């Protein structure tokens, strides 16, 4: 059993390191509930102590698209050093009185002392955070879906920012 544990690579989409670019670690986690987000962020704090932790969250699961767990969601996201929250996935499918208010979540996380911003989609998040990321940062992408291709777009953007133009 000890030998098998040495080769265990973990479960796909659970704290899965997707890329490491110039000292920036990008991690995917299948976030579907505030408890899972809390545990993921705590684990990343343990694994990467003293590193700046970004939580990039897409409200996509049936429960997280609703207000049911708003308090718990705020508490979980506030464990990060920087937070970006995308618009609610397929928001039109949830009646507005039941729908999660991303603006309210961002406001409450910010009030807890953690810089947080709302972003329309993955492209807006990538454009926002890529220039701000620095060596040592850990970016936790929290979604239970494809999140607009962010898992590929963010590493690609980071690589393009680091390219040096050819001398003429």
| The pLDDT of residue 105 is above 60 | yes
pLDDT of 32 reads: 84
pLDDT of 162 reads: 75
Q: Which domains does the chain have, with CATH numbers?
A: 9-145+152-161 (3.90.190.20)
Higher pLDDT, 163 or 140: 140
d(CA 142, CA 28): 6
Predicted model pTM? 0.89
């Amino acid at each position: 059993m000890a030998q098998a544990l040495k080769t265990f690579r973990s479960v796909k989409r659970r704290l899965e390191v997707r890329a490491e670019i110039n000292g920036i670690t990008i991690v995917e986690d299948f976030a579907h509930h505030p408890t899972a987000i809390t545990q993921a962020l705590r684990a990343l704090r343990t694994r990467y102590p003293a590193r700046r932790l970004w939580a990039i969250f897409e409200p996509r699961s049936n429960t997280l698209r609703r207000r049911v767990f708003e308090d718990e969601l705020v508490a979980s996201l506030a464990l990060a050093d920087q937070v970006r929250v995308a618009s609610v996935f397929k928001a039109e499918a949830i009646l507005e009185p039941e729908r999660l208010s991303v603006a309210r979540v961002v406001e409450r996380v910010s009030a807890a002392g953690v810089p947080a911003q709302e972003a329309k989609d993955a492209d807006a998040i990538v454009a926002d955070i890529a220039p701000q990321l620095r060596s040592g940062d850990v970016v936790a992408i929290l979604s239970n879906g494809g999140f607009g291709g962010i898992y590929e777009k963010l590493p690609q953007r980071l690589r393009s920012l680091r390219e040096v133009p050819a001398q003429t």
